[in-house]
Each structure stands twice: as structure tokens, then as C-alpha cells.
A and B are shown apart, each in its own frame.
Chain A
Amino acid sequence: MVKNITVFTTNQCAYCHMVKKYLDNKNLKYDEVNLDNEPNRRQEAISLSGGMTVPVTLVTQHDDSRHVVVGFNLSSLVPLLS
């Protein structure tokens, strides 16, 4: 079960838009960290994904296990959203 979802985005990233749209369509709540507005949180995204890219989606499950999906990647994201 999903406890919470955080999506790291930037204003103009089309793939970020796709992740948000996907979660919206599924009625799933998420926190958005827009790195254009919060540049000081860039390092957090880099540490999670190991790269300098967005979107980075962090899914925390009820058992507190954390899973990271880089990019708009449904085959990795969907199984985490039960």
C-alpha cells in the first residue's frame, strides 16, 4: 500500500507533466517538488535518482520502503501504486 508519493519536476519538462497527469487520472495524491521554484532541493533529487534528470518519483509504501522511478516509466511505476 502506498503511504505517499513525491514527484520532483521542473516547469517545462514534458515527462514530468505525463507523470503528474497519470497520477491525477488515477486520483492519487502526491507532493510536487518543483526544482525551478525550489532549486535548493536539486541535490535531493540527484541523491534519489543518481542522475541529474527529472521527473523523479519517490513512492513510499506503508512499511516505509522507498522506491524511486526515474522518467515517465509506467512499467516501473504502475506495480508500485497498488
Chain B
Amino acid sequence: MKNIIVYGADWCPDCHRSRKFLDEKNIQYIYLDIDSDKSIKSEMLSLTDNKNIIPTIVLPNGQILQEPSNQVLAKALNDFKSVSSDNEVIDLVIVGAGPASLTTAIYTTRENIKTIIFEKAVIGGLAAVTDLIDNYPGFEDGISGLDLADKLEKQAKRFGTQIEFNTVKKIELLPNNDKKIHTENGDYVARAVLIATGTDYKKINVPGEKEYLSRGVHYCATCDGAFYKDKEIAVIGGGNSAIQETIFLTKFATKIHLLVRSSIKASEVLQKKLQSFIDSGQVIVHLQTNIVSILGDNQLVNRILIKQGDIKQELAIDGVFIFVGLKPNSEFLNNSSIELDQLKFIKTNNNLLTSMNGVFAAGDIRSGSTMQIASAVGEGATAALHIRQYLESLKSY
């Protein structure tokens, strides 16, 4: 196949946008910078009737697009299998690429249901950023989150799942029952949608939290823990994630102050593991303790102000890791007709169907889910079977 050619310049924002669009869809092209050589510019002008507009994109079939929007580009490219267009209706779009999503995709693509996943951050979701998953069946010694994510991704891709980096902004029900998925890279139309967007860490909203983000304030132990080798840190939270992350951080930090608002709520297994670090003095637990502010020298965090009852006290530490619970990734549904519960998790019926026809939800984002990888995977499989049924029901009309 002939190549796509993009004429552009480094200073041109629309050129960057078009190239990003092609890059994210893994579409190969040749980039020619019109500023790098006069002959390139004249070559472009000879193709465009002297219209000096960039980006100018020449498609393999000879079609020439000048300054196209992403939608126009997508439409023109609909020969490429990874690109949807206004004309193509995808069987299933999945929002998010965590364990629930990847499981659904394994089932659906294996049955030739064309499936595209949009993921805004990491393939594998929250599971990928967890260091060791000890309770997922089938791995007697546990498995690292990254390895599990990798295996799920490979298995889904083996059957033909397409995963694109893209953020979904809105889901709209069209009059013919198809769903329009508005994304950062344009709109797509699908017969069925699965929302599997999971949750993200909550902020604590204290002074210093925003100012020192990544400079002493962290939400991901596997990402940033290594910077605290031989240092003293604080961990905020008392649930499963906080305790699991504290245990992980003992690999690096010499001393960890665990600040718990009330009492430790983590599972017994985790509490038992934690106990050995408490006994050795590496972890110091401060119960009934709130963090008031995070302080530093304007560059990096060097202490925190904490409050236990009426007593306020400063603790000298090098960093704070915050794990105070999770909030649902459902902001993009705020103005849609998909019903959420009081905490903004998605309501579904027993078939994992939301209040919008043909839109399903599975995993941590679903109201009432048990927030475990094994259950997310189970819900992913359940959703796949109901989605298949839904798609079949459309054919019989």
C-alpha cells in the first residue's frame, strides 16, 4: 500500500493535531516539513493548486485533504480497520481498559463482535498500578498488577480487540437506538456500549496538597515509591488500599507514619502483614488523626501538620502518600440520561444494563460492585453475554 503523506510544519498546531490523531490510531505516514526544504513546499503547492495550507494530507487513493478536522480525516480513512467513521457502526465500544473491560473484550471479540476499547491512561486500569495481587484465583504465588494487565491485554488482542488511547467525553442515545460516543478524537457510533471506567483516588483537599503534587504528595506507590528509599514518609488512610500500599512502601522508606482518621478498616490478612512492620518500628500508626496541611520549602515537602483530638503537631517527613478512598470515574456522564446513585456510581439492573438502552456497566464503576479484580472480571464476562444477547435481539427486528 502507498503511504499517507502529511505536509506540515513544527509551528503548526493543526499539523500536530492531525499527526497525533494518526499516531494514536497507529496509522503509518510520512511527515514532510515544508520549512526544511524549499522543494518540499513546491511539491506540496503543485499538488494543491498553489493553496498554501497545512496540514496537507495526501491519502493513498490520491485524495487531498487540507486542514481537515479529525472527523473529516477519520471519514476519509475509513479503509483503515482501526478507524471508525460516521458511516461505520461499531458493534461494541468499551470505555476504559481495566480488568472488567478486557474480560468483556476477550469474550466479544472471540465471538466476532467488533469491539473497540477507549482508554485514557493505563491498559489494565487500577490493577496495573498495584504491585502484587495476592487474591486473584489461578496464581498461587500472586501476580504483579503489571503482569496481569499484560496478560489480559495480550489475550484480548489475540482475538482482535482494538485498544485506542482516547478519552470519552459523552454518550448520547440516537433516535435509531445507536449510541454516539463523543471522544477527544472525534465521534463514534456503536450499537452497544460498556462503561467500565472504574475509580480514581480521592483528594483530601488540604493546603499544600495541590501545590506539592509529585513534589512530596503522591497517589501511586508503585510509580513514585522508589524516590523515598531511606526516607521518612506519611501514608494517609486506613482501608485496604492504604494498608496494601504502606506494606509496599516499606521496601523503600525507613519509617512510615500511617495516619488514620478513625480506625484501620483493612482486611485481617492485610492487618496481620502490617503488624510485623509495626512490631519492628518501621511503621508507626497514628489513630484518630487528621492531616491539617502539607508544608515544605516551596520546592519539596518537608513536614506535615497533624491533629489528634485537640493536639496539633508537626511531623518531619519527606513525602506523603494519600489513599483515602476512591471516587467513581463518571463525570463524563453528568449530563446524560444514564442514572447514577447518590455516590455517582452507575445503576444497573441484574443484566448489568444501565438506564440507557444498549449501554451496560461493569466493574468498580457499577453501583453495588464489590471492587475486586475477580469480581470485575466476573462482571466483564456477565456483561459480554448480555451484550451478545442485546446485539442478537437487534438483528431479529
Contacts and interface: CB of A to CB of B under 8 A. Distances in A.
Nearest to B165: A74
Interface in B111-145: 121-124, 128-129, 131, 144-145
B23 A78 contact: yes
B10 interface: yes
A82 B31 CA distance: 7
A53 B223 contact: yes
A74 B20 contact: yes
B24 A53 contact: no
Interface residues of A, number: 29
Contact of B122 (A12, A18, A81): A18
Residue with the greatest number of chain B CB neighbours at <10 A, chosen from A13, A26, A54: A13
The B interface is mostly helix, strand or loop, or mixed, namely mixed
A39 B226 contact: yes
Contact of B218 (A50, A53, A78, A79): A53
Max chain A CB contacts within 10 Å: which of B128, B146, B213, B227?
B227
Contact of B223 (A15, A36, A74): A15
A26 B24 CA distance: 10
Nearest to A42: B227
A10 B220 CA distance: 12
B226 A36 contact: yes
Contacts of B223: 10, 13-16, 53-54
Interface string B154-188: 00000000000100000000000000000000000
Contact of B131 (A12, A42, A74, A81): A12
Interface string B312-328: 00000001000000000
Given A14-B222, A39-B229, A52 B319 contact: yes
Nearest to B222: A12
Contacts of B123: 18
A52 B31 contact: no
Interface of A: 10, 12-18, 25-26, 35-36, 39, 42, 46, 49-54, 70, 72, 74-75, 78-79, 81-82
Question: What 5 pairs across the A-B complex have the smallest Cβ distances?
Answer: A51-B214, A52-B227, A14-B128, A12-B222, A53-B214
